A and B are shown apart, each in its own frame.
Chain A
Amino acid sequence: MFENFDFAVISANLGRFFLEGMGFTLRLTFFAGLAGFLLGTSLTLVRMASVPFVSRAIAVYINFIRSMPLVLLIFWFNFLLPGIWQEIIGSPYPITFNPLVLAFWTFTLFEAAYFAEIMRAGILSIPQGQAAAGRALGLTGLQVSLFVVLPQAFKNVLPVLLTQLIALFQDTTLVYIIGLKDFFRVIHIAAVRDGRQVELFIFAAVVYCIISYCSSLAVKKLQKPQQELWA
């Protein structure tokens, strides 16, 4: 079944696939992941501080984002963000977003909700005594959160956070629907133009598979080995 395979179509475009496509994908994953983590952690801290109204609003935001399909949110942000930004800065004309920036904000706002929930679970896993001991040592509430609770929570949920990052890496393929050129889209363009979908889509799958699998192997190293059921 592989006798008609044209491997030249892969090698001829390799530079573009990785420099342009994978470059976009990795940049988007890294920056949106980092910003989403920071935003998500801040949201969780404020939420858990039980600020009236604000905490409730954050909870609503997190639950709302988590109940929406990413595809729908990509559509929303794609059409909505330029308009909102125009309103915010009071511009007399519509704003043009750099596609990478638009994708960055979309994924940041989306991932923040997921990172927030992971961090919340991490914080809840820290025994109350830790915070109490911190207060007893004379630390302020903020100091307790930042220097006592958060570092331990972060360490506990690190594997989950990294797994979420791998999910984000895979989710970035959905920028396909708004026509941004990530790794898969660059391959898709070449595949459709040359009618070489079989070779190129398999190639894309293999590359994603290798990267995700190796990353999750690395994450597994962080986790405790699981018990064997039938020793």
Chain B
Amino acid sequence: MSTRALLTVYNRRCVSVADIPLLEMEDFASTIASSVGAGWRIVSLFGVAEDTRALRLCAVLANDDSGLLGATCALVAQEYPALSTSCRQAGRFEREIAEQCGAIPKGHPSLKPLRRHPPDHAPSAWTVRPKDREDFPFDVVHGDEVHEVAVGPVHAGIIEPGHFRFHAHGEEVLSLEIMLGYQHRGVERLLECSERGRAVLVAESIAGDTVIGHASAFCGAIEALARSHKTPRGQTIRGIALELERLANHIGDLAALSGDVAFQPSAAFFGRLRGECLNLLMTISGNRYGRGLIRPGGVLFDIPPTMASEVMRRVERLRDEVRLIAQLLFENASVLSRFDGVGVVSAEQCRANGYVGVVARSCRVPRDVRHDFAYGVYRYAQIPVATAWSGDVYARAIVRWLEVQRSMEFILEQLSALPRGEVRVDCGALTPSELVVALEEGWRGEIAHIVMTDAAGHILRHKVVDPSFHNWSAVSAAMPGNQISDFPLCNKSFNLSYAGHDL
């Protein structure tokens, strides 16, 4: 890989914006295409208004095998040749850029709006008209006896809004198109315009089930730009909270998967144990989802020795109970036959489309930020990466179960030897004209917060990439060939965030 075209960056270490290679559009496109061809993937591709007439495209790429991150950029006018013609992974990002910045990537297969909102990051001199979704009809499958099923945005269950459009032949799904954007709240603008005290609350509300993950990534970026010295104790408490969040959600997902195959015993029991994980977070932070814990500079709440031993006692009891119930679930033949072979994602699909997190690890693509781009406490305490082979609902369930066990061990280990010292230190003004990439392995997968400052040290751009942004297309890819009645099971095995995607 040409080192001139990609600047090596490290997780949560700043680089000067001036040091990032500014390429001609042609070189920018070929750098991205050849890197992705050589095993890199796109972490984020986004636009920043450079002046009133030009847009700066920034790409952050990752090579999981070598643990490298690379950044590069290019200046473009309103119309530019689409990157997605030479690199498929760029397709979704370019749809986002078209919608956010009003740019027109020429040759892009379909610039259907991802979220439906007026551009909020366009260079001021550009005239842009928000695209009308009516101009982009749903894909249609023609043929006798092919029928169309439309679901949402208001669903049957207690879930977030999104629209699913199936084409099916009898029970067999031929295609699935997913239309999102209903949860769009303007998160990136809020993060860029709010003062820090409010911005961290917005970061906690990007996805309500990933409070710790997003708040930690947000703080990781801000702390790097402020050159804040993080304390070992604060970092360890963050790690414990992140793993508690993972426990709560993975166990909750196992409950929901049990429910979707009508296996009530483990659905009920896992449901209660999920609550116990949330209550552990509440013991530490005062909120069931860990709100109020993570703040720039460290954490707001310490874990005193008596609380540490109480939490350890409860995690040990949880470990005994959850093992019993996992046994009940994973040794039940009727459950296994329902999990087996449903919603398969292949390793090839995963590499081609850049899926992350549990979805990638379930098809033997070992991507885990805690391991590949280790940060904070994970530099000192490694958690083995859990993978499975079959890429189906079973694989995604078993990866969750493996991670539940490893997270519990991690929590117990860390609580038994909490580093001494402060839990929070000062976090001052941001360094001007710098860019930082903060990656975090949330329970769904890789969370990226990319922050760029201007010459005055204000936030110029705050890009958020939730793992759901990468992974929603995996749901569409996994459904064809499955029965339409398996959709709830399949969807739950991914359990992606609508809010995290829609921002």
Is A bound to B?
no
Which residues of B pack against A, CB within 8 Å? none
